[in-house]
């Protein structure tokens, strides 16, 4: 079983993916963790792509993260596509909250590499702007373009739907 979880920053991809990994026992790759281990160069992009491909050679896996540039690698192999959608305001609030918590306690984002750092600077403000620039239509188009005919798509917009999905996952 191959599962991908996509959605805007702050929608809960990492949290949900950890829960699904605990339920299923499937190996989990956090794309943020992988990407933030790099220097963000073109060479890093090649390495990032290769690491995803190597991870996807396993029988079962879960990958959480957007990274639209590499969705063409993940979507065609996905049996289950989970798209988390919450309001942009809620996403922004969650990102600010997790940033604050991370400053207080690095273990609050244990999936992030040790060298990851976050500063209140122009890069961080640009990152916050991406929450409002998130393109649902682009993501939908990528899913439609690359998904397998028999792939299951779950669009999760609230806690009740998330609980229902987790019950389904426990039956895999």
Query: Per-residue pLDDT tens for 151-160?
Result: 999 999 999 9
The pLDDT score that the predictor gives to residue 154 is 96
Tell me the residue ranges of DSSP E strands in 10-132: 28-30, 61-64, 80-84
The pLDDT score that the predictor gives to residue 130 is 87
The pLDDT score that the predictor gives to residue 172 is 73
Q: Extract the tokens encoding 89.
A: 């305001």
The pLDDT score that the predictor gives to residue 110 is 65
Per-residue pLDDT 10s for the chain (172 aa) are 999 999 998 899 999 999 999 999 999 999 988 988 888 899 999 999 999 999 999 999 999 998 999 999 999 999 999 999 999 999 899 888 877 776 777 676 667 556 656 666 677 788 788 889 999 999 999 999 999 999 999 999 999 999 999 998 888 7
- Cβ atoms of residues 83 and 155 within 8 Å: yes
- Cβ atoms of residues 79 and 141 within 8 Å: no
User: Taking Cα atoms as reference points, which of 168, 95, 79 lies closest to residue 130?
Assistant: 95
Write out the DSSP string of 89-128.
HHHHHHHHHHHHHHHH-GGGGTTS-TT----SSHHHHHHH
Q: What is the pTM of this model?
A: 0.86
């Amino acid at each position: 079983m191959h599962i991908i979880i996509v959605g805007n920053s702050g929608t809960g991809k990492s949290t949900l993916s950890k829960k699904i990994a605990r339920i299923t026992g499937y190996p989990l790759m956090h794309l943020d963790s992988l990407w933030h281990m790099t220097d963000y160069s073109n060479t890093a992009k090649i390495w990032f792509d290769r690491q995803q491909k190597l991870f996807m050679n396993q029988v079962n896996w879960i990958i959480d993260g957007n990274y639209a540039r590499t969705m063409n690698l993940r979507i065609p192999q996905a049996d289950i596509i989970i798209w988390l959608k919450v309001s942009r305001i809620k996403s922004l609030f969650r990102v600010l909250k997790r940033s604050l918590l991370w400053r207080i306690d690095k273990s609050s984002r244990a999936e992030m590499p040790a060298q990851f750092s976050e500063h209140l600077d122009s890069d961080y403000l640009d990152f916050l702007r991406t929450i409002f620039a998130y393109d649902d239509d682009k993501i939908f188009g990528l899913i439609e373009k690359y998904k397998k005919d028999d792939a299951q798509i779950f669009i999760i917009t609230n806690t009740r739907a998330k609980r229902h999905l987790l019950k389904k996952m426990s039956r895999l």
